[in-house]
Structure 1
Amino acid sequence: MSASNTNSGAELLFLGTGTSMGVPTLGCKCAVCHSTDPHNNRMRSSIALRYHDAAHDVRRTVLIDTGQEFRMQAIRFGIDHLDAVLYTHGHADHVLGFDDLRPLTFGHAAHLPIYADDPTADLLERIFDYTFRKVDRYPTSARVDLHRLSSEPGTTVELFGAMIERIPVRHGHHIIAGYRFGDAAYLTDMSDLPEASYDRLRGLDIVVLDALRREPHPSHSHLDKSIAIAQRIGAKQTYFTHISHDLEHSATEAELPEGIHMAYDGLQLNFDIAAFPTEGDAA
């Protein structure tokens, strides 16, 4: 099942929309965890971007985050090739699937580029030391090139003809990375937005926001706050992700304002990745 706006050219595929413990949550007896509605079955949050690289006339796939279920997500959604990976931050539910990149990096002349800010890159190098160390590197480690992204507002990276901007996002006491790509933006694990980030999110067709549960949480935005942030950003369509078992899909969807939706694993959105704000537009 898919949904789209009026633009085309790129696809945003939700590989997972769940919180760090996933849904169903282990040991939980609640109605959402025992629901038969597949919309309530949520793997850890991650997305894939698919778009055409006009310069080389090939289809590119760019991943944001590799949670614990990345292998299962890749099998479920037919991901058999990756061109790049971007990381939002270094928590377990966003990085621990890193090692499952290995088979997707074998047999290619170039190493897979991955992008992360300094704290996340440091953590990847520490957890997966056998991949990154220069001496006695494990021979079948993932073949990757780690690129460190500046945490300064306005940091961009060009990937196969698409400009991707790092958007600072507040995650509790930490500033982590969200990303804007053309007419869409992905801001998972968000408790709030720095004021300057709102200026980088003008003119969006699609924005994806964290909406963990109904009650406030110290490091994630809750439902009412996410609605208010969505309305301030003013994207044509908003989709909530990183959803816990406190929010039943259909019942929550029915109460959301117009233009705001619950995302779910496997949802695909079409958008324009070529459009991007100029410095004047974002000032």
Structure 2
Amino acid sequence: MIIMGTGTSVGVPVVGCQCMVCRSQNPKNQRTRTGVLIRGPQGEFIIDAGPELRLQLIREDARLIQAAVFTHAHADHILGLDDLRVFGYQMNAAVPLYCEEAVEAQIRHVFSYAFTDPAIHTHQFAAPKLRFERIVPGQAFTVLGIEILPIRLKHGDLPVLGFRLGNTAFLTDMSTIPAESKELLHGLDTLVIDALRKEPHPTHLHVNAAVRLIHQLQPRQAYLTHMSHDLEYEALRNELPDGIEPAYDGLKITLT
């Protein structure tokens, strides 16, 4: 697993902001929108497709993205979807998108040109080739030989998904977790979890809330993601308990 982006919806630096974090020269304070790249024995796929997806994939030397899995349909998690266009044509097949019904509906709305009559396009490569695969919380599915368990989370009032891949879990964009979902997250080696800022937020975990949840779940190692410009990497790293660190763009995690 490669953490391609660790930033909140506007990224870091924030356009026009002159705060210390946004002006920082430390690359670990430069956060593109949140998402991950999974490299397995049968190929590469992504979880979420943020606006910088093309640049993230180039940075990580990705070769052929064969599928995408989605946590939810907010703009910072789907707007890079058109960057999968090249892969559909390389494979001469539609790229499968694994998501819930509500996410499919939003993707079809935002990227309507990908699902219209091909005759309206100016050339044969004008739209990505995409198809949908429905996923259901609590029902495991397999992508390129890797079993994935979707786990129900709440992002404010919005139902979203986190994912467990073996003993590694990715829980971004969340504020609460149902009790039955916690039962699916014991025995983790690695947990990547939302931590927007230090102050409470109505739809995201803040740092202290993330730390409390980490202590409940007791993974061997935890990383914070989806961070705003309120969090400076080195200062946060020094404040966190042992076994918890801020993630950064490009962080590599071995799936276990």
Q: Which residue of 1 aligns with 2:163?
A: 179
Distance 1:264 1:109, change over 3 A: same
Q: Which residue of 2 aligns with 1:71?
A: 54
The one of the two structures with greater contact order (alpha-carbon pairs below 8 A, sep at least 6) is: 1
Quote how far apart the aligned CAs of 1:80 are: 2.2
Superimposed CA distance per residue, residues 77-136 of structure 1 (whole angstroms, 9 cap, x where no aligned partner): 111211210011110100000011101211314322111111110000011111123564
Distance 1:122 1:137, change over 3 A: farther
Quote how far apart the aligned CAs of 1:160 are: 2.4
Please give the alpha-carbon distance, in whole angstroms, between the structure 2 residues aligned to 1:271 and 1:135.
40
**Structure 1 SS opposite 2:90:** coil
Please give the alpha-carbon distance, in whole angstroms, between the structure 2 residues aligned to 1:51 and 1:105.
19
Q: Which residue of 1 aligns with 2:108?
A: 125
Please give the alpha-carbon distance, in whole angstroms, between the structure 2 residues aligned to 1:107 and 1:238.
36
Q: Which residue of 2 aligns with 1:6?
A: none
User: Percent identity between the aligned chains?
Assistant: 40
Q: Which residue of 1 aligns with 2:128?
A: 142
Matches within 5 A, 1:1-283: 12-53=1-42, 60-134=43-117, 136=119, 138=121, 139-140=124-125, 141-150=127-136, 153-272=137-256
Superimposed CA distance per residue, residues 166-215 of structure 1 (whole angstroms, 9 cap, x where no aligned partner): 11111001110111110101000011111111011111100110000000
Structure 2: segments with no counterpart, 5+ residues: none
Superimposed CA distance per residue, residues 228-277 of structure 1 (whole angstroms, 9 cap, x where no aligned partner): 001111110000000000000001001111111100001101122xxxxx
Please give the alpha-carbon distance, in whole angstroms, between the structure 1 residues aligned to 2:96 and 2:32.
24
**TM-score if structure 1 supplies the norm length?**
0.87
Structure 1: segments with no counterpart, 5+ residues: 1-11, 54-59, 273-283
The 4+ residue runs of structure 1 with deviation greater than 6 A are: none
After superposition, the CA RMSD in angstroms is 1.2
- The count of corresponding residues between Structure 1 and Structure 2 is 253
